[in-house]
Amino acid sequence: MAQVPQTFFDALAVRSWCGLALDALGRSREEIDAINVYPVADGDTGTNLYLTLESATAAVEAVFDGHRAGGDREPALADAVRAMAHGALIGARGNSGTILAQLLRGMAQVLAGYEAPAHADGEGLRNALRHAADSARHAVAHPVEGTVLTVASAAADAAGAAEGDCGAVARAAYDGARAALAETPARLAVLRRAGVVDAGGRGLVAVLAALVETFTGEAPRGLPAVGGPWTGSVRTTGPVPHAGVERAEGLGECADGGAPHGAGGPAFEVIYLLEADDDAVARLRDRLDALGDSLVVVGGDGLWNVHVHADDAGAAVEAGVEAGRPYRIRITHFGAEDVHTTGAEPAARGERAQRAVVAVVPGEGLAGLYTEAGATTVLARPGEPPASGELVQAVRRAHAREVVLLPNDADLRHTAAAAAEQVRAEGIRVALIPTRSAVQGIAALAVHEPERRFDEDVVSMTSAAGATRYAEVAVAERQSWTMAGICQAGDVLGLVDGDVAVIGQDVTAIAEAVLDRMLAAGGELVTLVLGDDAPEAVAAHLETRVREGYLAVDTVVYHGGRQGALLLIGVE
């Protein structure tokens, strides 16, 4: 559907661009994940870009909500772009997300100079794109051509030669980026061998396509598919090579900056936010550059996002402690034994089991429950959903000919689909059951019978999951509009089947209201999964409510641990 075009780069244009770009990455992120072979073939570039932009978009929406609550018409351009840059910085994930955060920050540094009621025109957008490309390149310790940095520079070069309004400049930037993306396999041997373009660059092309749509009202025609067609002798169809094969060949340089990263490359990805001054960060760059590769440090004004690949993850964190105050520390192991993945090992790696279940779970308690039931689990920590590469590793770890995959989250549907497609190319039969909550996964796992035919087992598990209504009780992180009205930060929300149904202040009262709504349609079994922060008495209260108010309905209670939501509820 055509969008109403924005004439100038003002706060509304920032909001529109973020929303359109987030939608574009949501549609393509699993495909981008699938072509992520460089610098580490861990299949998460699309997801990292999406999560980074999701954080930027949420920050912009919060600014608009704040102005609306205060009676103002809309924020100034400077307020919107600063929020966008800050949101991207604090939410940046992985190499690609960190570089995208710096690109957005570079644009914001130029656009924030247009104080209200001014707005940026074509010249302002040209300057913003140029500064974004230059600042992103400066943030990478060892820039390498054939990556997102090359695509960003080409976009800025093309925009600089364009004349006209924001729409004309955005179109030129998109065309320049698209042409540069097609040439990335010619610049990096690992891309050429794999028959793909640079994944980060492909994501940036999608973001620039959204910029064109923002100012013209129409998405560019001919937006390239992830796999091609491309110039040169590059594969346009077929599966992406197995990550292990690609690494065994030796990757040469690091895609977004760095030292050689082959089979013996650094074992860990380390990311954290850092509060520190400029001088301390300069020393930190030198320290981390000696520890590993893929070093990207973005930010400024006392707040930085640090990303590095290193064998000694502890030393990388200690370097941050010496520089300032690191927090939101995330360490990911690149090996087959991913730190997010748990589950019993097969007795013999040489002989595959016939069938296995792989499930994403939101807390340690549920991970233990699923593991006891024989599933291999992938832990989704609050605010840190797993990438498709982690699901691929979990399927390989399950070591079975047939795998049933339970994403247990509606937002993980695309990620799980990308993982399933990748392992199917390795000869594993995979069925993806679209479970939207861990309680639906519990219901599916309860009827799982490995001895019966695969199709029959999948149908039975799918039916059990579909017959389970799900709900959760959570705390609102910020003011927002919901199906039940406006909620404020700190309000208790009761969500039924993914939509906010009740808003209040008391956890137990909201939980009871949600449970009553669900049982009004009938039910035989209520499943309660308590998070660590849930009131101790809520489970007992709900059990009593069911026993006294709903005859012949049973209740089972589990402890989920640090699962994000205070309470998960399932009704079968």
In tens digits, the chain (572 residues) has pLDDT values of: 445 567 778 889 999 999 999 999 988 887 888 888 777 666 778 888 998 998 899 889 888 888 777 666 788 899 999 999 999 998 888 888 999 999 999 999 999 887 655 677 888 999 999 999 999 999 998 888 889 999 999 999 999 999 889 999 999 999 999 999 999 998 888 888 888 899 999 999 999 999 999 999 888 876 555 444 343 333 333 333 333 322 222 233 333 433 334 445 677 888 899 999 999 999 999 999 999 888 999 998 899 999 999 888 888 888 999 999 988 887 777 653 343 444 444 434 457 888 999 999 988 888 888 988 889 998 887 767 787 778 888 898 888 999 999 999 988 887 888 888 878 878 899 999 999 999 999 999 999 999 999 999 999 999 999 999 999 999 988 888 888 888 888 999 999 988 899 999 999 999 999 999 999 888 899 999 998 888 889 999 999 999 988 888 999 999 888 888 899 999 99
- CA-closest candidate to residue 24, choices 215, 285, 210: 210
In terms of Cβ atoms closer than 10 Å to its own Cβ (0-12, 13-18, 19+), residue 221 is exposed
SS3 41: coil
H-helix or E-strand spanning residue 271: strand 268-275
Contact residues for 261 (Cβ-Cβ < 8 A; gap 6+): 39, 40, 251, 252, 253, 254, 293, 294, 309
162-198 burial, b if ≥16 CB within 10 A, otherwise e?
A: beebbbbbbbbbbbbbbebbbbbbeebbbbbbbbbbb
Q: Are 80 and 15 in contact (CB under 8 A)?
A: yes
User: How far apart, in Å, are the Cα atoms of 252 and each of 97, 142, 143, 182, 476?
Assistant: 22, 13, 13, 20, 46
- CA-closest candidate to residue 57, choices 92, 28, 18, 26: 18
What pTM was estimated for this model as a whole?
Answer: 0.60
Q: What whole-number distance in Å separates Cα of residue 228 and Cα of residue 149?
A: 20
User: How far apart, in Å, are the Cα atoms of 533 and each of 173, 494, 529, 538, 559?
Assistant: 48, 15, 12, 11, 11
Q: Are 559 and 365 in contact (CB under 8 A)?
A: yes
- Amino acid identity at 346: P
